[in-house]
Amino acid sequence: MWRGLWSLVARAARGPCRPCTRQGSGAPAPGSGATIFALSSGQGRCGIAVIRTSGPASGHALRSLTAPRDLPPARRACLRLLTDPRSEEPLDRALVLWFPGPQSFTGEDCAEFHVHGGPAVALAHVEAYIDFGEDDNLEEGVLERADSQVQELEVALNAHLRDARRGQRLRSGAHVVVTGPPNAGKSSLVNLLSRKPVSIVSPEPGTTRDVLETPVDLAGFPVLLSDTAGLREGEGPVEQEGVRRARERLEQADLILAVLDASDLASPSSCNFLDTVVTSAIAQSHNGNSQRLLLVLNKSDLLLAGDLDLSPELPPHLLLSCLTGEGLDGLLEALRKELTAVCGDPSAGPPLLTRARHQHHLQGCLEALGHYKQAKDVALAAEALRIARGHLACLTSGGGTEEILDIIFRDFCVGK
Ligand SMILES: Nc1nc2c(ncn2[C@@H]2O[C@H](COP(=O)(O)OP(=O)(O)OP(=O)(O)O)[C@@H](O)[C@H]2O)c(=O)[nH]1
Ligand SMILES: [K+]
Ligand SMILES: [Mg+2]
């Protein structure tokens, strides 16, 4: 039904008048000699869609669609069978109204078609038909171009979705977990970085049991900093539970701050920590695992000059003294680099997704584009694009249908 109507109005208007155009797509004002048409029942699911035309071709459109009957009496709703003027295929039984100008909304001849079908069925044919041109004889490659535009969109969406975690880290804070053997100075480091006494510090190994999480701004990035129990067998069930939670939190870390006592590197607990946590984290990061690690050798103030018996195999590390603050600037600079890699540099590159809502709509858009590619029928393809457009519009709060769908369908226009 749409094809007949739109093509008819388009064909009729294409004579002495200016080409017909859909209202809302930069259409000329009524009275300019063109015939305009639009869905006047608005967007949204509905059983009946009202299509209104205004301009000198309105009468012609009405006659052609309701042939062989003549124009209905002015301003009276009449039930008519609508048929496709070329194939005479019955399209719909619909109410039609005729408003001869100047007694009409626009002062011009107007016609209304109250037809069945929600916007998805009414408008997709419209979009496809108008943009596909009168005889559906598409220019070569037009459909492929639309498909390739959809493909480009899919690539961009997938790239954003891959980055989604970074955006969320930027928004809710990257998880930085401080870990190491007992008494390495983990809690001292957490208090130093958060500039407040978050954790209890004591010479007693096994002081920290629970995971203590505190939001801080580190080198300009929002971070969730977690202090954890010293990793060892654990004396008693409470400390063992603390160690279990520490290991669990470690797995969720975006960045691991591994702390060792620089004056105690040869101890079994330091060696064991290096061989397990540090070495495996570094190995995984080389295999593309996104988790990153910074090794901090704390208590450097206890080292005498040249006393640092650092075996050459020791991974890249930073020297620090939580007691004197020596090495803190170097650590903050290293943290800035790591966090830029973890969260993305908000000032550069494409906008990062920071909210789950963003991710939801991008995912929804991607799925709709998948349905577009599988759709065999133009109307269903247009509906899939409309759903995709809806998701994007929720993110861009842009104009929605006309804007985005036209971008994809604009190339379907034939010879206008
Ligand atoms: N000399 C010196 N002592 C430090 C330094 N950092 C921490 N300490 C001391 O080392 C002891 C342990 O510090 P904590 O911060 O409690 O160590 P921890 O790793 O949190 O210990 P657990 O929670 O028991 O695993 C405390 O007596 C601290 O004062 C440092 O840079 N230099
Ligand atoms: K301690
Ligand atoms: Mg502690």
pLDDT digits (tens, 9 = 90+) for 147-165: 888 888 899 888 888 776 7
> Ligand 1 within 6 A of 201 CB?
yes
Identify which of 179, 183, 270 to mutate to test ligand 1's pocket (most ligand atoms within 8 A of the CB).
Answer: 183
Measuring CA to CA, which residue among 88, 95, 99 is closest to residue 115? 95
What's the whole-number mean pLDDT along residues 53-74?
Answer: 91
CA 293 to centroid of ligand 1, rounded, Å: 20
The average confidence (pLDDT) of the chain is 81
Q: Between these two residues, 194 and 21, which has the higher pLDDT value? A: 194
So what's the pLDDT on residue 385? 86
- 293, two tokens: 């690690």
Q: Is the peptide bond before 102 cis (omega within 30 degrees of 0)?
A: yes
pLDDT digits (tens, 9 = 90+) for 70-109: 999 999 999 999 998 888 878 888 999 999 999 998 999 9
Least confident of 63-67, 224-228, 309-313, 391-395: 309-313
The segment with the largest mean pLDDT, out of 64-73, 390-399, 407-416, is 64-73
Domains, the chain, ordered by start: 34-118+400-415 (3.30.1360.120), 120-132+141-163+353-397 (no CATH), 173-197+209-230+239-343 (3.40.50.300)
With pLDDT > 70 as the criterion, what percentage of the chain qualifies?
A: 75
Identify which of 188, 226, 247 to mutate to test ligand 1's pocket (most ligand atoms within 8 A of the CB).
Answer: 188
So what's the pLDDT on residue 383? 84
ipTM surpassing 0.85, yes or no? yes
> Ligand 1 within 6 A of 191 CB?
no
pLDDT digits (tens, 9 = 90+) for 159-215: 888 776 777 777 788 999 999 999 999 999 999 999 999 999 999 999 999 999 999
- 107, two tokens: 């002062």
CA 165 to centroid of ligand 3, rounded, Å: 29
Going by alpha carbons, the residue nearest to atom 13 of ligand 1 is: 185
Q: Counting ligands in written order, which one lies closest to the CA of residue 188?
A: 1
Predicted structure pTM score? 0.58
| CA distance from start to end of the chain | 22
Residue 14 pLDDT grade (very low, low, confident, very high; cuts 50, 70, 90): very low
The ligand 1 atom at the shortest distance from the C-alpha of residue 201 is 16
Whether 132 and 146 have beta carbons less than 8 Å apart is answered as no
- 195, two tokens: 């500039």
pLDDT digits (tens, 9 = 90+) for 341-386: 888 776 766 666 667 788 888 899 999 999 988 987 777 888 888 8
CA 183 to centroid of ligand 2, rounded, Å: 4
- Looking at the predicted structure, is the pLDDT value of residue 243 above 60? yes
In angstroms, rounded to a whole number, what is the distance separating the alpha carbons of residues 108 and 105?
8
So what's the pLDDT on residue 288? 66
Distances (CA, A) of 302 to 122, 187, 297, 329: 80, 18, 11, 19
Which residues make beta-bridge pairs with 297? 260, 319
Going by alpha carbons, the residue nearest to atom 23 of ligand 1 is: 208
HEC assignment per residue over the chain: CHHHHHHHHHHHHCCCCCCCEECCCCCCCCCCCCCEEEECCCCCCCCEEEEEEECCCHHHHHHHHCCCCCCCCCCCCEEEEEECCCCCCEEEEEEEEEECCCCCCCCCCEEEEEEECCHHHHHHHHHHHHHHCCCCCCCCCHHHHHHHHHHHHHHHHHHHHHCHHHHHHHHHCEEEEEECCCCCCHHHHHHHHHCCCCCCCCCCCCCCCCCEEEEEEECCEEEEEEECCCCCCCCHHHHHHHHHHHHHHHHCCCEEEEEEEHHHCCCHHHHHHHHHHHHHHHHHHHCCCCCEEEEEEECHHHCCCCCCCCCCCCCCEEECCCCCCCCHHHHHHHHHHHHHHHHCCCCCCCCCCCCHHHHHHHHHHHHHHHHHHHCCCHHHHHHHHHHHHHHHHHHHCCCCHHHHHHHHHHHHCCCC
> Ligand 1 within 6 A of 324 CB?
no
CA 294 to centroid of ligand 3, rounded, Å: 18
CA 184 to centroid of ligand 1, rounded, Å: 6
Whether 402 and 26 have beta carbons less than 8 Å apart is answered as no
Sheet order of strands, 110-116 included: 21-22, 36-39, 48-54, 110-116, 90-99, 78-83
Q: Counting ligands in written order, which one lies closest to the CA of residue 259?
A: 1
Q: Counting ligands in written order, which one lies closest to the CA of residue 185?
A: 1
- Looking at the predicted structure, is the pLDDT value of residue 8 above 80? no
> Ligand 1 within 6 A of 124 CB?
no
Going by alpha carbons, the residue nearest to atom 16 of ligand 1 is: 201
> Ligand 1 within 6 A of 344 CB?
no
Bridging pattern class, strands 36-39 and 21-22: parallel
Residue 235 pLDDT grade (very low, low, confident, very high; cuts 50, 70, 90): confident
CA 187 to centroid of ligand 3, rounded, Å: 4
CA 60 to centroid of ligand 2, rounded, Å: 90
Measuring CA to CA, which residue among 207, 297, 290 is closest to residue 252? 290
Bridging pattern class, strands 255-261 and 292-298: parallel
> Ligand 1 within 6 A of 193 CB?
no
So what's the pLDDT on residue 311? 58
So what's the pLDDT on residue 354? 66
The ligand 1 atom at the shortest distance from the C-alpha of residue 324 is 31
So what's the pLDDT on residue 287? 72
The ligand 1 atom at the shortest distance from the C-alpha of residue 205 is 24
Whether 67 and 85 have beta carbons less than 8 Å apart is answered as yes
So what's the pLDDT on residue 12? 42
CA 255 to centroid of ligand 2, rounded, Å: 23
Q: Counting ligands in written order, which one lies closest to the CA of residue 181?
A: 1
The ligand 1 atom at the shortest distance from the C-alpha of residue 204 is 24
Going by alpha carbons, the residue nearest to atom 11 of ligand 1 is: 203
So what's the pLDDT on residue 142? 57
